[in-house]
Amino acid sequence: MAMKRHVIVGGGTAGLNAITTIREYDRGESEVVLLSGEWPYARMVLPYYLGHEISESHVFTATATRLAKLGVKPHIGRRATALDTKNNKLTLDDGTILEYDDLLIATGSSATRPPIPGANGPRIYNQWAMDDTRGVLAEIKGGMDVVMVGAGFISFTILNSVLSHGVNLHVIEVMPQVLPRMIDREAAILVQDWLRGRGVHIHTSTTVKAIEDVDGRKRLLLAEGGDLMADLVIMGTGIRPNLGWLAGSGIEINQGVLVDDHLRSNVSNVYAAGDVAEGPELITGKREVHAIEPTAMAHGRVVGANMVGRDIAYRGSLLMNILDVQQLDIASFGNWSAADRETSVLLEPRGHIYRKLVWDGDRIVGAVIMGPARGIWTTNDVGMLKGLIYSGVHLGAWKGYLQEHMKDLKKPFVACHVIRDMLPVTVLDHPTVPARDVVAVEPAG
Ligand SMILES: Cc1cc2nc3c(=O)[nH]c(=O)nc-3n(C[C@H](O)[C@H](O)[C@H](O)COP(=O)(O)OP(=O)(O)OC[C@H]3O[C@@H](n4cnc5c(N)ncnc54)[C@H](O)[C@@H]3O)c2cc1C
């Protein structure tokens, strides 16, 4: 009997985790084909390369040797252009047609730029792909004026690395606050103050209307009047899922590919995972796109298991964003912005400390936590808070205690046995096996 053929489209976090999981279960007893526009690498590691903390080779997540050990047939540098779900055929940009038994859509997202004149000129980079990082590294020099357009999560993941080059940094944000989709206004004001205290120029409620080239420099014209001169511009103006190649495939799409708790699309042998998938959220069960690494990782693992015939249901993803911004720890989880829910807030402006808990009865369903990383209390509490939300624990009388003592997460965390409850929780039906230990005993092909 012919071996089953799994085709994985996209070699990012979701795709690679699916492949490793397939091999964790079947040890090489199926054919695995990887089609990916780029060689597999981890985008979230790019900031460390940008800050010269690691070399470029450390960003990659699989070498040719590793893929061979996993028994994977790679098609790298090629792109999917069409999917025929009736005949199980995938078309590549060079005209090749790949047949599959089942297929994973893991094509991630791409950066988008606002439609402003000059936005595609020289010395303007996104901060999403390896080539963006290479481009910035080739240009950036101490003493330069650098403008970051967009003050969202991705821009902030590279902020420390950009500053480490000794540049004069301006951050422009169209909304009235930085990190508008990650923290609330009270917290953002403290972040802005913290950064201004470290010499970063923050321009909120500011819109770039055009970018011009003047004597080898960039002039950013602002809608509110005035301009800003820069040597280098970095765009962090959003991303959108790579779905164009699915036109006419019959795959149901909303913001992303709609998937059930097994990460299956409306076509039963086609799955989706990572940034491109709109799958169940942990607390409400509603389907959402979470363009974050932990979701891509868990999705990939669940899909891999289901592709080899396991029956693994996914509990859902918890939205989480965690940042270190010049030694200020900032994190938010779950339903942090819920305006209609009971909240408890602690605000200490002078210490740059902010905490907000969002309640559903005696359970925490969302939170914002922020404070200097001096000492370890904020960093530790980020982890405990995640545990309290992820476990869905009913805090009972500890709710009142927490409301009185917002800085003491440890007592309720210990008393409610969060660790004991979380330890046996696994994404798959067994404890995690280190990825490096997974190989295909008999490489396919
Ligand atoms: C600078 C930066 C910092 C980040 N930091 C964090 C962080 O701290 N925490 C966090 O949770 N998340 C972070 N993220 C987000 C995280 O990297 C993404 O959520 C994650 O990469 C999603 O994984 P994925 O596998 O879904 O997609 P991707 O990693 O984007 O992989 C998709 C792959 O598909 C390929 N592809 C696309 N279209 C096609 C096609 N038509 N045919 C073939 N192949 C195709 C692409 O080339 C790519 O290889 C960061 C991202 C960036 C850019």
Tell me the CA–centroid distance for residue 17 and ligand 1, in Å.
13
Q: State which of 269, 296, 317 marks the end of a domain.
A: 317
Res 427: pLDDT: 84
Domain co-membership, 99 together with 247: yes
Same-domain pairing of 400 and 342:
yes
Residues 101 and 182 in one domain: no
DSSP reduced 3-state for 220:
strand
pLDDT digits (tens, 9 = 90+) for 104-129: 999 999 999 999 999 999 999 999 99
How remote is the CA of residue 297 from the centroid of ligand 1, in Å?
A: 11
Q: Residue 307 and residue 434: Cα distance in Å, rounded?
A: 20
Distance CA 11, CA 18 (A): 10
First to last CA, the chain: 14
398 is a domain residue: yes
Q: Are residues 130 and 45 in the same domain?
A: no
Residues 186 and 290 in one domain: no
Q: Which residue do the tokens 């970018």 mark?
A: 211
> Of the candidates 185, 203, 237, which is a domain's last residue?
237
- Nearest-CA residue for atom 20 of ligand 1: 293
Same domain, 194 and 244: no
Output the six-digit token pair for 109. Answer: 């997202």
CA atoms of 422 and 431, how far apart (whole Å) = 12
Determine the Cα angle at 297 with ends 294 and 300, to 5°. Answer: 145
In this structure, are 358 and 416 located in the same domain? yes
**What pLDDT score does 59 carry?**
96
* Cβ atoms within 10 Å, residue 419: 12
Centroid of ligand 1 to alpha carbon of 170 (angstroms) = 26
Q: Is residue 445 part of a domain?
A: no
Give the separation between CA 251 and CA 378, rounded to whole angstroms. 43
Per-residue model confidence as pLDDT tens for the chain (445 residues): 689 999 999 999 999 999 999 999 998 999 999 999 999 999 999 999 999 999 999 999 999 999 999 999 999 999 999 999 999 999 999 999 999 999 999 999 999 999 999 999 999 999 999 999 999 999 999 999 999 999 999 999 999 999 999 999 999 999 999 999 999 999 999 999 999 999 999 999 999 999 999 999 999 999 999 999 999 999 999 999 999 999 999 999 999 999 999 999 999 999 999 999 999 999 999 999 999 999 999 999 999 999 999 999 999 999 999 999 999 999 999 999 988 999 999 999 999 999 999 999 999 999 999 999 876 677 888 889 999 999 999 999 999 999 999 999 999 999 888 888 888 778 888 877 788 888 886 544 4
User: Which atom number of ligand 1 is nearest to the Cα of residue 47?
Assistant: 1
The residue whose CA is least distant from atom 5 of ligand 1 is 44
Report the number of distinct structural domains present in the chain.
3
Going by alpha carbons, the residue nearest to atom 3 of ligand 1 is 44
Longest Cα separation, the chain: 71
Q: How far is the CA of 199 from the centre of ligand 1 (A)?
A: 31
Look at the pTM and tell me if it is higher than 0.75.
Answer: yes
Q: Are residues 245 and 184 in the same domain?
A: no
Collapsing DSSP to helix, strand or coil, 269 comes out as: coil
Asked if the structure places residue 257 within a domain, the reply is yes
User: How many whole angstroms separate alpha carbon 229 and alpha carbon 219?
Assistant: 5
204 with 154, same domain: the answer is yes
Q: Is residue 444 part of a domain?
A: no
**pLDDT of res. 445:** 45
DSSP per-residue letters across 117-184: TTTTSTTEEESSSHHHHHHHHHH--TT-EEEEE--SHHHHHHHHHHHTTT-EEEEE-SSSSSSTTTS-
Q: Is residue 322 part of a domain?
A: no
Q: Which residues of 26-37 are buried (b: 16+ CB within 10 A; e: fewer)?
A: bebbbbbbbbbb
377 and 334 co-located in one domain? yes
The domain that holds 159 is classified in CATH as 3.50.50.60
Can you give the three-state secondary structure of 15-26, one letter per residue?
Answer: HHHHHHHHHHHH
Pocket of ligand 1 (CB under 6 A): 9-15, 35-38, 43-44, 46-47, 79-80, 106-109, 127-128, 154, 157-158, 242, 245, 274-276, 291-294, 296
Q: Are residues 263 and 344 both part of a single domain?
A: no
- Is residue 430 in a domain? no
Distance in Å, CA 1 to ligand 1 centroid: 36
Q: Are 273 and 104 in contact (CB under 8 A)?
A: yes
332 beta partners: 321, 368
Residue 320 CA: which ligand 1 atom is closest? 11
pLDDT of residue 441: 65
Q: Which amino acid, residue 161? A: S
Judgement on whether residues 143 and 208 belong to the same structural domain of the protein: yes
Tell me if 431 is assigned to some domain. Answer: no
Atom of ligand 1 nearest to the CA of 39: 49
Which one of 261, 290, 317 terminates a domain?
317
**Domain hosting residue 200, numbered range:** 124-237
CA-CA distance, 150 to 141, in Å (whole number)?
21
Q: What is the CATH number of the domain that holds 403?
A: 3.30.390.30
Please name the residue whose Cα sits nearest to atom 53 of ligand 1.
128
Q: How far is the CA of 6 from the centre of ligand 1 (A)?
A: 21
Residue 428 lies in a domain: no
